[in-house]
Structure 1
Amino acid sequence: MAIFRSRAWICRTFSSLSSNPLRVCIVGTGPAGFYTADKMLKAHQTAQVDILDRLPTPFGLVRSGVAPDHPETKIVVNQFTRVAQNERCMFLGNVNLGSSVSLKELRELYHVVVLAYGAESDRVLGIPGEDLEGIYSAREFVWWYNGHPDCRNLAPDLHSTDTAVVLGQGNVALDVARILLRPIEELASTDIAAHAFAALQRSSIRKVYLVGRRGPVQAACTAKELREILGLKDVYINIQESDLKKTPIDEEEMKNSRIQKRVYELLRKAAGSRPACPSPGQRELHFTFFRRPDRFLDSDERQGHVRAARFEKTALKVDLDKQVAVGTGQFEDLECGLVLKSIGYKSVPVDGLAFDQHRGIVPNIRGRVLKNTSGDCLLPEEGLYVCGWLKRGPTGIVATNLYCAEETVGSITEDLESGPLASVSSSPKAGREGLLQLLDGRNVRVLPFNAWEKIDSEEKRQGSLKHKPREKLASWQELLTVGSK
């Protein structure tokens, strides 16, 4: 049953709209979606913008991806809230593209459809043993500790092993390693999910290995993230001096990238200042370079559960002016009971949409979605656009989506002024009213922004009892129940 069958809740916007507004639908309410909505509202004064999300909650990875000990990054939700409260904008939560409404239907209802739903799947290694218990994607682990309802029941076993291996050395890899190693008392005052906090309280993890295929010069993290994890209280940092040797091409890479140079300098400084060995009981963080996973080994005691990761040692080889890791034929096993794969997110295609499986993006030019014609020529789809990770791949930080949205909205504006959308004023669309009628007929329980405000208020109320900014509601049932009150 729809949350408001009368749909009277949308009428507040009609008085200020033109008789034939530009109807815009944005799918996905993470940074890419909200920045696009903000730019569209400012650029087109007659536009009515609806932003949809399959979750009852808005803000995407700002809520479910940003680490709980990084509250400053989440301040952007204040800006996004102002966008959602604009009288020409409406958030519709619990609306799933594909099951609630099809892309074809959205295109019939709206002049402009922008897909900004990000990357909700993971790349795979494709090596033996990858399906063993105890092996998770970093995305799943991040969603788990951030209270995403899809991963509420992940329940990673943190107390049957003392060693975790994190594959990858980007910012997400550093995030999950930091959460595993940070003193539990420092997490108590964050918005970490209650179930994750309880599991981390019982955690036996004392060693975390951050493993990369290439060397320290090619580590994909930022200096800010690296500095933070190197500064964790009472954590022994291990970096092999032999891994820090630079090649002439390394020197050239560092010369051309201030970030790579700073990351390398931080690693070298950490390696030079560490004591010979950890103190008794001290937690350990090992940066392991020049290793690529070959397979995961099954446990004899806990059949079906990972007991070790086998790595092949690598060396760097120049390929088209880029250093790539190649195997050396030397192998070693690293005992562990938990593996987190931080090897990249992957977007999921939807019916009726061209998709580049290799790059994990929708083919596009400056945000204009491309389609295949009979002659294999790619031409723009009229009125269909992408933004964010679906457009460029899972790269960048929250602010990167601002520039991405500017480009996509620029393409939309060009198409409205002198392109295929120039005649929209003479072709009215049903837009929001049509979508709500369709969803109502399918008994989809739509949660508007004031439903999120109820969830927000309840989370903050519960959090205040524990001296936390919020206690996240982490199940679908809790979110829907509170949002529907």
Structure 2
Amino acid sequence: MERPLRVAVIGTGPAGIYAADHLIKTSEAVTVDIFDRLPTPYGLIRYGVAPDHPRIKEVVNALYRVLNNPRIRFIGNVEYGVDVKQDELQRFYDATIIATGAEKDRPLDIPGIELAGSFGAADFASWYNGHPDVPREWPLEATEVAVIGAGNVAVDVARILAKTADELLETEIPDNVYRHLKDSPVTDVHLFSRRGPAQVKFTPMELRELDASPNVEVIVHPEGIEFDEGSLAAMRATRHVKMCVDILQNWAVRDPRDRPRRLHLHFLQSPVEVLGDGRVAGLRTETQELTGDGWVRGTGEFTDWPVQAVYRAVGYLSQALPDLPFDTTTGTIPHTAGRILDLDGDHLPGMYVTGWIKRGPVGLIGHTKGDAGETVASIVADEAKLPVAPERDLEAILAHLANRGVRATNWAGWQLLDEHEIALGAPHGRKRVKVVPRTDMIEICNG
């Protein structure tokens, strides 16, 4: 008689949830427990996507349908390596998939980046999304701000900094974030891209959203609107690149509009130093020139921008996990087709990986589906030789966590919290008001 396969997934962002979905479709006997160190599911969809992105957040509806399957069990407020360790999971599960993603900021190695007033975009996104493990305060004291990067996260950060707080009131932005943004003295936000307009990583939708605010004038500085053969090839090859370039060119030549805040887009400007004595007093950039293939080189011409805060949005970075190999250069767990490899290049029995910690923090949410499919295919191929978990009762892991004093949350508890947040927002015409403190979330989840 075939034993029912028991699998643990660590991480309830899209990568982990897609993996769980693939797993239960392989056999009606498979059951999955999906763990998260937070009391809530959805990972960066809840705590990394800007609150004024309702269309992107609609992906939650699809993820909800997966987690609502009775063969998938959400277990929150459980940290891998702290509340439950790898060898302990092997008592309860035949296989474990690591899907912890990437939520830290990639470093930017330039002088002065450590000054007060210099921040990581991921940290800022966690704050404005009400992540329970970050401070409730944020020093919004600058009138001019620099954002370094040309991806969707950079655009999100620039937009949130430039918008007025009242424009965000209809979203699920936490009350403490609203109060801080309300008091922000910002007048100008400068976004710097090292390469040209044909090499930007943001999407046309993200770009258009920059210009949707009635209080923000988007200014494209025309001196950076340059193209080489590599740029033209990119525009011919990819429709969304051509769309972004057309939008930027139109903005570069339009008449000025009288709005209280300005968002400046600078292309072919590479940051080389954050200026200041003890805290940020400026940003120095070097003008770049295109080299014919879409890449750039420095010209030796420098500009100092009088900003008082700098936000780097140069990529996310995964974190190493206890008792698992980790490649610090790529920020990934070494693997072959999702099978985690030890230091000798051998497969760690029963251990798998998917998502950004598998392939690096690149691509859109949908790309994690392919990752999950590959990893689950490896599990199915390995099933006959997987180590058999000795404690197969579904309640055994919950009893183990309770004995450790872990106050785990579950799917029914998340639904209570979800309803609670929606009810908090309803009297004010808002979709929800997030509960931020972890202890409050746990209390609500546990009834």
Q: TM-score, normalised by structure 1?
A: 0.87
2:380 corresponds to which letter in structure 1? Answer: T
The offset of 1:29, in angstroms, is: 0.3
Q: CA deviation at 1:242?
A: 2.7
SS at match of 1:468: coil
- Residue identity matched to 1:450: A
Are residues 1:180 and 2:161 paired? yes
Of 396, 399, 407, 2:363 maps to 396
Unpaired runs of at least 5, structure 2: none
What RMSD over aligned residues (CA atoms) do the two structures have, in Å?
A: 2.1
1:24–1:111: 8 Å Cα contact kept in structure 2? yes
Q: Partner of 1:94 in structure 2?
A: 77
The amino acid across from 2:354 in the alignment is: C
Select the residue among 383, 399, 422 that pairs with 1:437: 399
State the Cα distance separating 1:108 from its structure 2 match. 4.1
Alignment of 1:273-292 (within 5 A): 273-275=254-256, 279=258, 282-292=260-270
Summarize the alignment of residues 434-473 of structure 1 with structure 2, pairs less than 5 Å apart.
434-473=396-435
Q: Is the 8 A contact 1:65 1:146 kept in 2?
A: yes
2:427, 2:213 → 1: CA distance?
28
Residue 182 of structure 2 aligns with which residue?
A: 201
Structure 1 residue 134, shift from structure 2 partner: 1.6
| Alpha-carbon shift at residue 294 of structure 1 (Å) | 1.8
Other-structure match for 1:124: 107
Distance 1:425 1:133, change over 3 A: closer
Structure 1 residues 381 and 329, CA gap change in structure 2 (3 angstroms): same
Partner of 1:156: 138
Residue identity matched to 1:84: L
Where in structure 2 are the equivalents of 1:36-75 lying within 5 Å?
36-75=19-58
| Aligned-residue offset at 1:438 | 2.7
C-alpha contact (below 8 Å) 1:230/1:270 kept by paired residues:
no
1:408 counterpart residue number: 375
Give the C-alpha shift of residue 313 in structure 1: 2.3
Question: Structure 2: how far apart are the matches of 1:437 and 1:403?
Answer: 34
Among 320, 328, 333, the residue aligned to 1:349: 320
1:336 maps to what in 2? 307
8 Å CA contact 2:350, 2:386 repeated in 1: no
Give a deviation string over 1:292-323, Cα, whole Å, max 9, x none: 22222225xxxx321111222223346xxx54
Q: Percent identity?
A: 38
Structure 2 residue corresponding to 1:384, chosen from 326, 351, 362 = 351
What CA distance in whole angstroms lies between the structure 1 residues aligned with 2:91 and 2:240? 46
Note the alpha carbon deviations across 1:210-261, whole angstroms, 9 max, x for none: 1011111111111111122134324322223232121122212222222222
Range moving further from structure 2, 398-407 or 448-457:
398-407
Structure 1 counterpart of 2:195, from 192, 214, 217: 214
Answer yes or no: is 1:80 the counterpart of 2:63: yes
Shift of 1:425: 9.3
- 2:10 is matched with 27
Amino acid in the other structure paired with 2:301: Q
Match for residue 285 of structure 2?
311
Of 216, 219, 223, the residue aligned with 1:238 is 219
Q: Shift of residue 91 of structure 1?
A: 0.8
Contact persistence 2:94–2:387 (CA under 8 A) = no
> Secondary structure of the residue that 2:441 maps to in structure 1?
helix
Q: Does the 8 A contact of 1:237 with 1:274 survive in 2?
A: no
CA deviation after TM superposition for structure 1 residue 428, in Å: 4.7
Q: 1:358 pairs with 326, 329, 337, which one?
A: 329
Q: Distance in 2 between matches of 1:408 and 1:85?
A: 22
Question: How much has 1:58 moved relative to structure 2?
Answer: 0.7
Q: Distance in 1 between matches of 2:64 and 2:51?
A: 20
For 1:80 and 1:248, locate their aligned partners in 2 and report how far apart those are by CA, in whole Å: 42
Between the aligned partners of 2:254 and 2:327, the Cα distance in structure 1 is 46
* Deviation readout 1:260-306 (Å, 9 max, x if unpaired): 2221121111112233xx53x5311111112222222225xxxx321
Contact preservation (8 Å) 2:225, 2:267:
no
Partners of 2:228 and 2:290 within 8 A in 1 = no
Q: Deviations over 1:433-471 (max 9, x none)?
A: 443233222211111112212211221111112221111
Q: Which amino acid aligns with 2:329?
A: H
Deviates further, 190-199 or 244-253 = 244-253
Q: Secondary structure at the match of 1:151?
A: coil
Is 51-60 or 327-336 further displaced after alignment?
A: 327-336
**Alignment match, 2:88:** 105
Q: What are the superposed Cα offsets for residues 184-203 of structure 1, whole Å, 9 maximum, x if unpaired? A: 33311111111111111122
What secondary structure does 1:372 align onto? coil
- Once the two structures are TM-superposed, the CA of residue 161 in structure 1 deviates from its matched residue by 2.2
Runs of 5+ consecutive residues of structure 1 not aligned to the other structure: 1-17, 417-421
Q: Is 2:24–2:30's contact at 8 Å kept on the other side of the alignment?
A: yes
Shift in Å, 1:157: 2.4
2:262 counterpart SS class: strand
> Structure 1 residues 290 and 431, CA, compared in 2 at 3 Å: closer, same or farther?
farther
CA distance in 2, matches of 1:342, 1:248: 27
| SS of corresponding position for 1:114 | strand
1:31-62 residue CA offsets vs partner (Å, 9 max, x unmatched): 11111111111212111100000000111111
Contact 1:20 1:425 (8 Å CA) reproduced: no
Paired positions, count: 447
Cα distance in structure 1, aligned partners of 2:117 and 2:387: 56
